[in-house]
Amino acid sequence: MISKNKLKELAAYRQQKRCDEEGVFVVEGPRLCAEALRSGFRIRVVCATGEWGEERGAWREESGEWYEVSQGELERLSGMQSPNRVWMLVERKEGDEGDGCVGEDVREAPVLALDRVQDPGNMGTMLRTADWFGIRRVVCSRDTVSCYNAKVVQASMGAIFRTRVDYVDLPQWLEGCGMPVIGASLQGQPLGEARLPEGACVLLIGNEGRGISAEAMAQVTHPVLIPNIGGTAESLNAAVAAGILMHYLSLR
């Protein structure tokens, strides 16, 4: 069982600042927490209803502190509107180039680059989509939302545990990556007309409202445009655009 003091201590991790300071992140819900247990990430604390804890009994000896909590106690910990059975505090892993998730060396595969992406839902969706298309590395500008933001983690649907995410000086990284850079741009060549490179490349997606920064755009070798066939919508959601382009690249 969990004490009132411990519950109060753990509830403080609803604040992203507290998580950032201690190098941890929150994972919630049966599916994501089961992925966390299998991932190799170090689990610091597990708070679960009795039923979920019993189902995962074999993991208890390999993880950190485990507490059985009531639904009401789970609601005090959770940042979700409808908390679901289990809450975890997980330690982050550091990438080679800064705050990021570890993964295999994927320099020969496509890389997704994100420039100043701010919306956690978009970020998580792009991680999830990249995972679907086998893209295991994501490189972000330092002012892109943290991949460990609780909303990013939820939206990633487990991709956070399988994808390496690095935060870098993005224009500098793009300049030195040694790969062609495909950038989503309103001034680009329409898909279907653009001649895209074969092999490893970088797909660059910009900020939701401002697009790719001038500094990063200077490193784009292949600007591309998703044609506005309907002619009425003003723009595409950044995560939707990224998904279309990742699918297009998968067909090369």
pLDDT in tens, 13-68: 999 999 999 999 999 999 999 899 888 899 999 999 877 766 655 455 566 788 98
Higher pLDDT, 24 or 235: 24
The domain locations on the chain are 4-92, 95-250
Q: State the Cα torsion 212-166-134-28 to the nearest 10°.
A: -110
Topology (CATH level 3) of domain 4-92: 60s Ribosomal Protein L30; Chain: A; (3.30.1330)
- Tell me, what's the pLDDT at 82? 86
State residue 100's pLDDT score: 41
Stronger pLDDT, 54 or 226, i.e. the higher one: 226
What are the CB-based long-range contacts (under 8 Å, 24+) for 15-18?
16/146, 16/149, 16/150
d(C-alpha 117, C-alpha 114), whole Å: 6
Question: How does residue 235 score in pLDDT terms, banded at 50, 70 and 90?
Answer: confident
Rounded CA-CA distance 228/149 in Å is 32
In this structure, what DSSP letter does residue 146 have? P
Cα(226)–Cα(66) distance, rounded to whole angstroms?
Answer: 49
Handedness of CA 45, 49, 50, 56 (dihedral sign): negative
User: pLDDT grade, residue 201 (50/70/90)?
Assistant: very high
* 59 DSSP assignment: G
Q: Is 13 exposed, middle or buried (0-12, 13-18, 19+ CB in 10 A)?
A: buried
The fold adopted by the segment(s) 95-250 is Alpha/beta knot (3.40.1280)
| pLDDT at residue 57, as a whole number | 55
